[in-house]
Structure 1
Amino acid sequence: MSLDCFRTLCHQLETTYGLKPTLNVGIEESVAMFLRICGHNEVQRDVGLRFGRNQETVKRKFYEVLRATELLACDYIKTPTRQELHRIPDRLMDGKYWPFFSGFVGAMDGVHVCVKVTPDLQGMYWSRHDRTSFNIMAICDLNMLFTYVWNGAPGSCHDTAVLTMAQNNDPEFPLPPEDKYYVVDSGYPNKQGFLAPYRSSRNMVVRYHMSLFENAPPPQNKQEFFNRWHASLRSIIERTFGVWKKKWRILCEFPRYNIEVQKRVVIATMGLHNFIRISNSIDDDFAETMGHSHIDNIDPKSDLNVIGTTTIADGDLMANLRERIADTLWANKHLLY
């Protein structure tokens, strides 16, 4: 992060979130040691040598800053209210996805984070990536801000299972209104509030991922055309995960902390991700992904919905909506491709 952003972070952790200096170690040094551990996945002994501190001091300061950044994350990862889910972000209205995806309120996906577990838990946390991990489900907006996190599901869980856990166990899960939806990949069901792509069938192969359209023939039918634009819109969550993991190497390298600490680190670093983004300071990782763009203001208009829905069965509702979007995109393909 930039120096100005670092100083602002230190000030907020001290004045708002209870981080205290000690006689020998100030706030900035404590935060710098914590960022070194999380950003570079350095062991505490090496951090102690770098800062001229013993390992016990580094360990104590790590947990003090972790506790403060967890509190910061509670404020910076904002779960949208029902009213906020009715609003339409300026970036959507000004971009190439309007008015086709006018019901979009976020992108949702799962990501795996390395974790160290005891031998008796390895089977539960062993993922398809041949390692023990969490399957973290997150939602983000078009500003690359995390708006919801379900943290700590075992790596062996399918994405759909993690979504079911979140909906069944979190009374504050932000389920969109009937005419809104999160864009999700084919690992999730196409049901109310979740717009998934078309899948291949026995009679027809339908491409989805953006890489399948690069240096290849253009979309051959409305299903592929929809999938191409859907994948492009949904890529915001993949890019957000990419920036988050690039900035915090503790998430994707050899895990040095136990399962409970790593779970806390996930939330703390997601909060810091949002903090850096909201600060609107120049940041190389965000600039590489989005350019030097700033956070959008939210347009309070809630009555714009060019492609509406009707009150019908859950699965049919989203299937019909997907068909209408696909028909509209296909009819305008000469303007879009």
Structure 2
Amino acid sequence: MSFAAFTGLCTILKENYGLQPSMNVSVEESTAMFLRVCGHNEAQRDVGLRFGRNQETVKRKFGEVLQAIELLAADYIKTPTTQQLHRIPQRQQADRRYWPYFSAFVGAMDETHVCVKVKPELQVMYWNRHDYASINVMAICDMNMLFTYIWNGAPGSCHDTAVLSLAQIGDSEFPLPPTDKYYVVDSWYPNKQGFLAPYRSTRNKVVRYHMSLFYIGPPPRDKEELFNRPHASLRSIIERTFGAWKKKWRILTDFPRYDMDIQKRVIIAIMGLHNFIRVSNFTDAYFVEDFTETQTEDQDNASYELDEADNADGQHMANIRETIATML
């Protein structure tokens, strides 16, 4: 992070979240050691050599800073209130690609995998389709690339819809949008109340969705693809957010050095740091570059296996999708 961001972070950790210097280690040095571990996935032994500290000191200071940044994350990862969700941001209204078609949009939701270290007997549960052990982290973000919600309690083998169900069942405060609002989601999710999914391919018809398919192919061929193109573009905000987050914090993608409990705490903490840097308006190259999450090649082919919700819940969202497609 920039020097201004670093000094601002140290000040707020000291003044607001109880991080204090010890006799020989300043708040700045403690924070810098934590950032080396998370930003570069350095082993604590190597960090100790870099800072001239023994490994026990690095471990202790890592825990102290992690605890303080968890408190910071609780303040910086905020789910908007119902009143805030009904207030349409100027940035959203100014973007003619989406306005007024997606006027009820209040966020983009998706999952991403974060490497974890688990016991051998748990490998099967946490082994994902990308061939490594992970937690399937579900998050919601807004148009400003700010995380507004996170659920990191699902094993990597869980399907996206299962993660959503676990979050809704396990979290009594899961932020369902108001009845007239929705999150945009990809084709792995059902099209149901509060979640606007794209048109999916069927066994008899291929409907393109991902932006890369529109870049290399012909323009939208029908109403479904005419809807899918801006929908995919709007939903890509969560992919860019995940991409910037993972690129900055190598601890998320390299070999995991901590057990799962610590790794889960780290995930929350550095999501809080992501939001802190973003809302503080510090210059940061990772928010400028165009990062996107890798899409699996079988996603569009597999998506027809998901059944559309056949109740009033699903029909309501299907009507909204049809209305937008007709407007476009």
TM-score (ref. length: structure 2): 0.92
The amino acid across from 1:65 in the alignment is V
Asked whether 1:65 is paired with 2:89, we answer no
Deviation (angstroms), 1:169: 1.7
Distance 1:206 1:268 in 2: 39
Q: Structure 1 unaligned segments of length 5 or more: list them.
A: 291-311, 330-337
3-state SS in 1 of match to 2:216: coil
- Which residue of structure 1 lines up, in the alignment, with residue 102 of structure 2? 101
3-state SS in 1 of match to 2:138: strand
Asked whether 1:318 is paired with 2:317, we answer yes
- Which residue of structure 1 lines up, in the alignment, with residue 296 of structure 2? none
Aligned residues: 308
3-state SS in 1 of match to 2:73: helix
**Over 6 Å off, 4+ runs:** none
TM-score (ref. length: structure 1): 0.90
- Which residue of structure 2 lines up, in the alignment, with residue 13 of structure 1? 13
Matches within 5 A, 1:35-46: 35-46=35-46
Matches within 5 A, 1:74-223: 74-95=74-95, 96-223=97-224
Deviation (angstroms), 1:171: 1.5
Deviation (angstroms), 1:271: 0.2
Of residues 85-94 and 35-44 in structure 1, the stretch that sits farther from structure 2 once superposed is 85-94
Q: Is the 8 A contact 1:82 1:174 kept in 2?
A: no
The amino acid across from 1:325 in the alignment is I
3-state SS in 2 of match to 1:282: coil
Q: Structure 2 unaligned segments of length 5 or more: list them.
A: 292-310
- Which residue of structure 2 lines up, in the alignment, with residue 307 of structure 1? none
Q: Is the 8 A contact 1:166 1:173 kept in 2?
A: yes
- Which residue of structure 2 lines up, in the alignment, with residue 287 of structure 1? 288
3-state SS in 2 of match to 1:214: helix
Q: Is the 8 A contact 1:175 1:193 kept in 2?
A: yes
Cα RMSD over matched residues? 1.1
Distance 1:110 1:83 in 2: 26
Of residues 235-244 and 2-11 in structure 1, the stretch that sits farther from structure 2 once superposed is 2-11
Matches within 5 A, 1:299-314: 313-314=312-313
Of residues 142-151 and 201-210 in structure 1, the stretch that sits farther from structure 2 once superposed is 201-210
Q: Is the 8 A contact 1:106 1:183 kept in 2?
A: yes
Q: Is the 8 A contact 1:78 1:148 kept in 2?
A: yes
Distance 1:237 1:89 in 2: 17
Deviation (angstroms), 1:91: 1.3
The amino acid across from 1:316 in the alignment is Q
The amino acid across from 1:244 in the alignment is W
The amino acid across from 2:55 in the alignment is Q
Distance 1:10 1:158 in 2: 39
Deviation (angstroms), 1:108: 0.1
3-state SS in 2 of match to 1:18: coil
3-state SS in 1 of match to 2:20: coil
Distance 1:42 1:170 in 2: 33
3-state SS in 2 of match to 1:88: coil
- Which residue of structure 2 lines up, in the alignment, with residue 328 of structure 1? 327
Between the aligned residues of both structures, percent identity stands at 72
- Which residue of structure 2 lines up, in the alignment, with residue 301 of structure 1? none
